């Protein structure tokens, strides 16, 4: 069937609602890559088997990631017209126990994370309560979803459906208001009106540079030429960031609908999603979604009975960070080596195959349908100043609650880390938070009250970037972190321009020397000078931002550099050439664990006698340190 109007879309919506909220119990497993890596596939298999064994009449379904990756595998039980209960850290065993409880008509109480009493249908602006009128009484082990600090400050626009629908079902996407915005745009609005809405919303690109999206669209619309392209940048090269994966795996139609609206607004007939090959499941879900949308006529010819036609294709990346840069990405789609070229001309003038092209990030596209459906004012009511709306961060590293969080811009780093993130693992002291990936910087504790927005982060020498937020504690060495990023950029530099190719290599060599105790007086100034030079003279953003991790760590953690250079000490006890492992005689009771764990037989000693480490043999792998239950192994 091809959907030709709103009426027909509503018919599918009704079907989708029955699928999403069936009239029998539905058990749902979060099966994004993060869930699977935590064991969700085993949980799913155990559920399937037990349900079959008991002949239980329930619906078993898969969903995307609701963001709380830390607590995965997550399983939900939806009791029709009552409540949805979310369970955390599930295993095959607890899965069986859960099914058994369902069979006996009991509420399974262990592994509880929260209860969800209502869901937001964001694009329609309605709230759908599970129970009408009274939610069931439940034990306090089930706090309300809105009361969990991890969720309470979130506003989910990009992530509106992740963890709520089956991403492989277009009906479920439509159930929650999907494709209504496309219908509205194509049937009721002129392309110019769509662009005006996007401009007025204040939406800025979520892929890195933060360029105003509406303006970019206008350039492309006004560029001469019949043939135009829209591209979704799903290269997500920032290591430590996985928002784009989360959205593509959990709600691929959100991106497709956004792109179709954009294509209508700009007059494009074809589009590409350029997705990194490291995300096989995202590519898989995207393929399914595109073919479903084609099946319903939401992609293809004469969409919603109009003259607008739009075809969407997927291109896989092949593992090159620089291909996230828009001109390199275009070269890669064209089948060439992914090297950037100087701009102008900008892609809006001359992009894919020389035609006007708009490239936006996954998150940027996923904001479009809600903006069109609810209006620019609604969207701009979130966020602050020059940074409107919400954005998704991947909150990872040394925080207690790691996962994907979507917050209004302007929230402070402290709220992110301590409220949503639940503080630092083991209550250790925070040292820095890294934003913006290899192009960004490390922000120290004293700036945690900085609002997270484009301008404030830039003022600190970092960037918003695409949304990676990596929290580091006292056990992370900042010189080593700078070296890590330089190793990355040196490796990923395409080599076309000299400042980036040679400059990152020089920086890397200097940092290597410092972490190995070969640093010299004056190195810090040399690092700064070289960094400034690379920033000024590189061809593309990769080189122009590569020194940021070095500059910010020098700016905020100069003492650590000095300790390495002058005292040959690594204060965080990370840099191997500068540390030694030894065993405290009075604490060691000769349990032998360290001796057995040592991969190179560097630990010697007899049972029940204090052990020793032979320094010449020690490779400083830390196995003894990790293994010791009596704190007898120390690092200096």
Partner 1 sequence: MPEEAARARTAYAEVTDADVVSGIINTYRDEPGNLLPVMLDINRHFNWLPRPALEHISDELKIPLTEILRVASFYNAFSLTPRGKNIINVCLGTGCFVKGSPRLLERLERKLGIKHGETTEDMEFTLEVVRCIGCCALAPAIRVGEATYGRVNPDQVSKIIDSYIETASL
Ligand X SMILES: Cc1cc2nc3c(=O)[nH]c(=O)nc-3n(C[C@H](O)[C@H](O)[C@H](O)COP(=O)(O)O)c2cc1C
Name the residue nearer to ligand FES (CB basis): 250 or 356: 250
Residue 364 binds which entry of partner 1, ligand X, ligand FES, none, CB below 5-8 Å type-dependent: ligand X
Q: What would the x/- binding string for ligand X be over residues 209 to 228, using CB under 6 A?
A: x-x-----------------
Residue 359 binds which entry of partner 1, ligand FES, ligand X, none, CB below 5-8 Å type-dependent: ligand X
Of 541, 547, 549, 571, the one binding ligand X by CB under 6 A? 541
Whole-number Å distance between alpha carbons of 363 and 207: 8
Count of alpha carbons within 13 angstroms of residue 167, beta-carbon side = 34
Is there binding between residue 241 and partner 1 (CB under 8 A)? yes
Residues 6+ apart with CB under 8 A from 291: none
- Within 43-72, the residues that bind partner 1 by CB under 8 A are 69-70, 72
Of 63, 154, 332, 552, the one binding partner 1 by CB under 8 A? 332
Is there binding between residue 339 and ligand X (CB under 6 A)? no
CB of 155 to ligand X, least distance (A): 19
Q: What six digits make up the tokens of 345?
A: 């001309």
Whole-number Å distance between alpha carbons of 108 and 98: 6
Is there binding between residue 156 and partner 1 (CB under 8 A)? no
Of 208, 437, 519, 541, the one binding partner 1 by CB under 8 A? 437
Whole-number Å distance between alpha carbons of 41 and 445: 39
| Region of 207-215, 256-264, 556-564, 616-624 interacting with ligand X (CB under 6 A) | 207-215
Whole-number Å distance between alpha carbons of 187 and 167: 26
- Within 602-621, the residues that bind partner 1 by CB under 8 A are 619, 621
Count of alpha carbons within 13 angstroms of residue 482, beta-carbon side = 34
Is there binding between residue 540 and ligand X (CB under 6 A)? yes
Q: What would the x/- binding string for partner 1 be over residues 281 to 300, using CB under 8 A?
A: -x------------------
> At what angle are helices 280-295 and 243-250 packed, to 10 degrees?
40
CB of 340 to ligand FES, least distance (A): 24
Burial of residue 579, with CB atoms counted within 10 A of its CB: 0-12 exposed, 13-18 middle, 19 or more buried: middle
Decide if 237 contacts 278 (C-beta within 8 A).
no
Residue 622 binds which entry of partner 1, ligand FES, ligand X, none, CB below 5-8 Å type-dependent: partner 1
Is there binding between residue 238 and partner 1 (CB under 8 A)? yes
Main-chain dihedrals φ then ψ at residue 310, nearest 5 degrees: -150, 125
Q: What would the x/- binding string for ligand X be over residues 462 to 501, using CB under 6 A?
A: ----x-----------------------------------
Residue 72 binds which entry of ligand FES, ligand X, partner 1, none, CB below 5-8 Å type-dependent: partner 1
Positions that interact with ligand FES (CB under 6 A): 239-240, 242
Residues 6+ apart with CB under 8 A from 417: 395, 399, 423, 424, 430, 433, 448, 471
CA–CA distance from 80 to each of 20, 39, 120, 259 (Å)?
10, 27, 17, 34
If one counts every other C-beta atom within 10 angstroms of the C-beta of residue 596, the result is: 11
Is there binding between residue 347 and ligand X (CB under 6 A)? no
Q: What would the x/- binding string for ligand X be over residues 288 to 327, using CB under 6 A?
A: ----------------------------------x-xxx-
Name the residue nearer to ligand X (CB basis): 438 or 571: 438
CA–CA distance from 458 to each of 138, 146, 360, 522, 551 (Å)?
47, 32, 21, 27, 13
Whole-number Å distance between alpha carbons of 6 and 127: 21
List the beta bridge partners of residue 76: 28, 86
Is there binding between residue 549 and ligand X (CB under 6 A)? no
CB of 239 to ligand FES, least distance (A): 5
Whole-number Å distance between alpha carbons of 564 and 516: 8
Is there binding between residue 252 and partner 1 (CB under 8 A)? no
Q: What is the DSSP string of 109-145?
A: -TTEEEEE-EEEEGGGTEEEESSSS-PPP--TTS-BG
Residues 6+ apart with CB under 8 A from 346: 219
Q: What would the x/- binding string for partner 1 be over residues 338 to 377, using CB under 8 A?
A: x--------------x------------------------
Runs of H (alpha helix) within 276-426:
280-295, 326-333, 362-374, 376-380, 413-414
Q: What would the x/- binding string for ligand X be over residues 357 to 396, using CB under 6 A?
A: --xxx--x--------------------------------
Whole-number Å distance between alpha carbons of 579 and 575: 7
Among the listed residues 186, 226, 499, the one whose alpha carbon sits nearest the alpha carbon of residue 355: 226
Residue nearest to ligand FES (CB): 240
Task: Give the strands of the sheet with 441-444, arranged side by side.
Answer: 403-408, 390-397, 468-473, 430-435, 441-444
Residue 540 binds which entry of partner 1, ligand X, ligand FES, none, CB below 5-8 Å type-dependent: ligand X
Residue 630 binds which entry of partner 1, ligand FES, ligand X, none, CB below 5-8 Å type-dependent: none
Is there binding between residue 335 and partner 1 (CB under 8 A)? yes
CB of 337 to partner 1, least distance (A): 5
Of 143, 149, 225, 280, the one binding partner 1 by CB under 8 A? 280
CB of 38 to ligand FES, least distance (A): 12
Residues at the interface with partner 1 (CB under 8 A):
33-34, 36-38, 69-70, 72, 236-242, 245-246, 277-280, 282, 315-321, 332-338, 353, 394-398, 402-404, 434, 437, 468, 470, 472, 476, 481, 484-485, 488, 494, 599, 619, 621-623, 626
Residues at the interface with ligand X (CB under 6 A):
205-209, 211, 233, 235-237, 322, 324-326, 359-361, 364, 466, 540-542
């Amino acid at each position: 069937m091809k959907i030709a109007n709103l009426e027909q879309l509503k018919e599918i919506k009704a079907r989708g609602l029955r699928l999403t909220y069936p009239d029998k119990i539905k058990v749902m497993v979060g099966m994004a890559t993060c869930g699977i890596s935590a064991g969700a596939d085993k949980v799913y298999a155990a559920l399937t088997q037990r349900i079959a064994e008991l002949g239980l009449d329930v619906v078993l379904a898969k969903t995307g990631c609701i963001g709380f990756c830390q607590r995965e595998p997550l399983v939900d039980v939806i009791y029709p017209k009552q409540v949805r209960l979310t369970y955390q850290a599930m295993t095959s065993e607890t899965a069986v126990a859960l099914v058994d409880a369902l069979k006996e008509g009991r509420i399974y109480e262990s592994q509880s994370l929260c209860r969800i009493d209502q869901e937001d249908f964001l694009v329609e602006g309605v709230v759908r309560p599970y129970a009408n009128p009274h939610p069931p009484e439940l034990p306090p082990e089930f706090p309300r979803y809105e009361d969990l600090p991890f969720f309470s400050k979130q506003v989910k626009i990009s992530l509106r459906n992740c963890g709520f629908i089956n991403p492989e079902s277009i009906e479920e996407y439509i159930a929650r208001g999907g494709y209504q915005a496309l219908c509205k745009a194509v049937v009721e609005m002129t392309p110019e009106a769509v662009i005006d809405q996007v401009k007025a919303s204040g939406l800025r690109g979520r892929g890195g540079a933060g360029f105003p999206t509406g303006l970019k669209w206008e350039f492309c619309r006004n560029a001469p030429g019949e043939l135009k392209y829209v591209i979704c940048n799903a290269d997500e090269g920032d290591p430590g960031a996985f928002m784009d994966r989360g959205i593509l795996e959990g709600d691929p139609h959100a991106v497709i609908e956004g792109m179709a609206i954009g294509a209508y607004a700009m007059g494009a007939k074809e589009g590409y999603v350029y997705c990194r090959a490291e995300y096989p499941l995202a590519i898989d879900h995207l393929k399914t979604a595109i073919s479903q949308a084609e099946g319903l006529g939401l992609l293809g010819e004469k969409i919603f009975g109009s003259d607008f036609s739009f075809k969407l294709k997927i291109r896989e990346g092949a593992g090159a960070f620089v291909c996230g840069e828009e001109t390199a990405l275009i070269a890669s789609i064209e089948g060439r080596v992914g090297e950037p070229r100087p701009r102008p001309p900008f892609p809006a003038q001359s992009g894919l195959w020389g035609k006007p092209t708009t490239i936006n990030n996954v998150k940027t596209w996923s904001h479009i349908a809600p903006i069109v459906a609810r209006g620019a004012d609604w969207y701009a009511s979130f966020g602050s100043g020059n940074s409107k709306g919400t954005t998704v961060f991947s909150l990872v590293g040394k925080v207690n609650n790691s996962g994907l969080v979507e917050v209004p811009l302007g929230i402070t780093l402290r709220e992110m880390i301590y409220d949503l993130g639940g503080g630092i693992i083991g209550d250790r002291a925070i040292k820095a938070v890294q934003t913006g990936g290899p192009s960004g910087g490390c922000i120290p504790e004293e700036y945690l009250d900085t609002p997270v927005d484009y301008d404030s982060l830039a003022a600190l020498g970092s960037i918003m970037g695409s949304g990676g937020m990596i929290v580091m504690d006292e056990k992370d060495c900042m010189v080593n972190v700078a070296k890590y990023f330089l190793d990355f950029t040196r490796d990923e530099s395409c080599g076309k321009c000299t400042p980036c190719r040679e400059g990152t290599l020089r920086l890397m060599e200097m940092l290597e020397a410092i972490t190995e105790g070969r640093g010299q007086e004056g190195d810090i100034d040399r690092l700064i000078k070289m960094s400034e030079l690379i920033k000024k003279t590189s061809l593309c953003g990769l080189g122009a931002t590569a020194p940021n991790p070095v500059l910010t760590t020098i700016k905020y953690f100069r003492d650590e550099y000095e300790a390495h250079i002058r005292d040959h000490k690594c204060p965080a006890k990370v840099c191997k050439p500068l540390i030694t492992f030894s065993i405290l005689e009075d604490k060691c009771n000769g349990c032998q664990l360290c001796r057995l764990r040592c991969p190179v037989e560097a630990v010697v000693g007899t049972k029940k006698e204090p052990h020793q480490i032979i320094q010449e043999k020690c490779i400083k792998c830390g196995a003894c340190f990790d293994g010791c239950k009596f704190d007898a192994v120390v690092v200096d």
